[in-house]
Amino acid sequence: MIRVIYNPVAGPRAVNRIARIRELLSASGTPFEVRVTEGPGDGILLAREAAHTGVSTVLAVGGDGTINEAVNGLAGSATRLAVVPHGTGNVFADEVGLPGTVEGCLALLSDGETIEVRLARAGERFFLLVASAGFDAEVVERMNSRQKNRWGIGAYYLAGLRHLFREQPTLWMEFPGKERVEAQSVLVLRGRKYGGGITMAPDGGLRKHSLHVIALRKAGRWPIVRFAVAALRGKALSSPDILHRETESVLVRARIPSAVQVDGDYLGPLPVRFGMSDVTLRLVVPVAFAKQGVEPAPT
């Protein structure tokens, strides 16, 4: 049995994708059911219910936020997660190389591979790929579904330009060993990719057991602009203003309220500890991605 979970506000053509999914699964004789999210947190409940009732696969149809909710519902269960991307950033699709069509994504249910990955945490919330605090998260907090549907990834850049003129709070990162570093914005990545297909952490990987922390240490508007331009050119880590650290955990604080986001959705205010967990998730991915090197589990 496959449970299809989709977010109807993840884009104006989501209904067309669901219709095609229904058509293809029916034609193949695959038992399935379709459930629609009606608000924040619904995806977690629907995925958790599927796992508890023994559903073999949850198919998440939506953006990275929809995928994140399914991840939190399935964490630690035997139910596997498959994805048909339909959102703004689609970081997961870029990371694992999902096909660009509904047909291609559904073919992975039989022709792909199922892998097991460790999940990261931001406080009590699991995340699969990307979390952040400070400027990036503040921009995410100010975006809404209408802006995303109208402008796509451009909505993020427009919100970022507006937010440049606001006061940016100072953040403090505390790494294992009590090392303390000041920063203006902090990205925490499991994989290589960031929104818009940008490669931000070339040595990252979902099958590894660490986080890549990328922090803008220099305060002010122009360092943010320079960092954004460097990231778009694939040279984010070359700036002397950037700290790049591979770690299993980092605690981020701020003196005044500042936002945290996970997989493209606002989570809440700082402080938050980001770290690797021992909880795993079963993921359906293309064979080419599954064949990439697997890092030995820590002892």
Question: According to the per-residue pLDDT averaged within each range, which of 41-50, 79-88, 89-98, 195-204 is highest?
Answer: 41-50
Dump pLDDT digits (tens) for 179-196: 899 998 999 999 999 877
Dump pLDDT digits (tens) for 123-175: 999 999 999 998 878 877 665 555 555 545 555 555 555 556 566 678 999 99
Greater confidence (44 vs 220) lies with 44
Contact in structure between 88 and 148 (CB atoms under 8 Å): yes
Instruction: State the virtual CA torsion across 64, 267, 212, 239 in degrees, nearest 10.
Output: 100
Is this model's pTM higher than 0.75 or not? yes
E strand map for 46-184: 57-62, 80-85, 113-122, 125-127, 130-134, 171-175, 179-183
Greater confidence (285 vs 160) lies with 285
Contact in structure between 298 and 209 (CB atoms under 8 Å): yes
User: Which of 94, 185, 169, 182 is closest to 131 using CA atoms?
Assistant: 185
67 three-state secondary structure = helix
